[in-house]
Amino acid sequence: MGLERYVKEVKVRRGANNNDEEDMPKWKLAFRDAWEFFYPLLPYLFIGVLIGALIHDFIPQEFIVKYASGDKLWTIPIASIIGIPMYIRVEAILPIADALVSKGMGMGAVIALMIGGAGASIPEVVLLNKLFKRKLVVAFVISVLIVAISTGFIIQAIF
């Protein structure tokens, strides 16, 4: 597509070797690496559960059915656009999605929200802006929106 000209030149430095790792058994390294991967996800998981609980307990079902039910096609593009600034990791969106579906939100809109939120969050776009020129970042966000919206419509047609 000719977008490679929009990649900024970035120099990557190699980190220093840690001699302590050479003496550590492989299972301890694996456990430590797994914990270091999982631990940062905990706050997002708890936030997702909290938001899901708030949606489930405090947003009236009639509100979601009236404004975001499955028979309204405009909810899918709006849900995908709303998903991007939400900065929701996939682990956190599952409880939110469950709460929205249980309240009557259309499955296509929920899927579009999940793809938009997981595909192009604001922090991710900020980081990509350091690697890519603006045109490539815009192309990335637009492609995420297109995928979110089209997948939402496909899911809505199936369910």
Local mean pLDDT, 10-residue blocks, the chain (159 residues) = 79 54 78 80 72 71 70 84 72 80 87 87 76 90 95 91
pLDDT of residue 48: 64
pTM of the model: 0.66
What span, in angstroms and rounded, lies between the C-alpha atoms of 70 and 156? 7
What whole-number distance in Å separates Cα of residue 146 and Cα of residue 84?
A: 13
Q: Which amino acid is at 84?
A: I
Report pLDDT for 43: 79
Q: Domain for residue 70, yes or no?
A: yes
Residue span of the structural domain in which 96 resides = 47-158
Residue 9 falls inside a structural domain: no
User: Structurally, how many domains does the chain consist of?
Assistant: 1
What is the reported pLDDT for 104?
82
Give yes or no for a contact between 112 and 84, defined as CB atoms under 8 angstroms apart: no
pLDDT reported for residue 121: 74
pLDDT of residue 87: 64
Examine residue 12 and state whether it is found in any structural domain, yes or no.
no
Instruction: Identify the pLDDT of residue 1.
Output: 76
Please report the pLDDT score of residue 45 as a whole number.
67
Q: Flag whether 116 is in a domain.
A: yes
Q: What is the pLDDT of residue 16?
A: 47
Cβ proximity of 88 and 121 under 8 Å = yes
